[in-house]
Amino acid sequence: MAKQMDYNTLTQIFERFQAHEAEPKGELNHTNAYTLVVAVALSAQSTDVGVNRATHELFKVADTPQKMLDLGEEALIEHIKTIGLYRNKAKNVMKLSRILVDDYGGEVPCSRAALVSLPGVGRKTANVVLNMWWGHPSQAVDTHIFRIGNRTGICPGKDVDAVERAIEDHVPVPFQHHAHHWLILHGRYICKARKPMCQTCIIRDLCPYEDKTQ
């Protein structure tokens, strides 16, 4: 685990991320808060590309909790059977849809506590929804962020909760809203697990990690 980067270095890093892509976006397709919840819940142990492929037709017929209930679990399974753990995910989607209809008037609640109470929705999913839909500067820590946070010292921590706190505590406020998106994209496409692309990395000179491409 690298030591926590200092304030000035973090500022430079996120200034570069911002200059490279001012408005980073999540890669899961969605049309409203509900489809975002479903898409993120389906993405566990699956790729965004695979989830988008599965939900392309699904969201045309079931973009609200009630429409999902009307569609039914077996029909949902037919749409998402190409992604991992699809049966368990289908059960959770149906359960959370029922709760949204019965307890929240068919609307997605906008508090973390309410979101994580839904079946199949963990803290990471809740943070994605809060950030992407309501603009709350919540930090959704995935394997990419956990890896590069500890590899580079941008946000080190022994577990995902500690990494989340490191982002909130150390990343300057102007960059908080997009911080997790910049980090996810950097980890997904540049600072990869096995073959980091150090030679094309825009923060190479600021990163303490040993260059693996030399």
Dist CA 209 CA 152 (whole Å): 6
Tokens linked to 80? 């998402």
- In whole angstroms, give the CA distance from residue 135 to residue 145: 19
Model pTM greater than 0.85? yes
What does each C-alpha distance from 5 to 1, 75, 160, 169, 198 come to in angstroms? 12, 49, 17, 12, 18
How would you write the pLDDT of the chain (214 residues) with one tens digit per residue?
A: 899 999 999 999 999 999 999 999 889 999 999 999 999 999 988 899 999 999 999 999 999 999 999 999 999 999 999 999 999 999 999 999 999 999 999 999 999 999 999 999 999 999 999 999 999 999 999 999 999 999 999 999 999 999 999 999 999 999 999 999 999 999 999 999 999 999 999 999 999 998 755 5
194: DSSP letter = S
| Catalytic residue annotation | 124, 142
- Tokens encoding 160: 């995902």
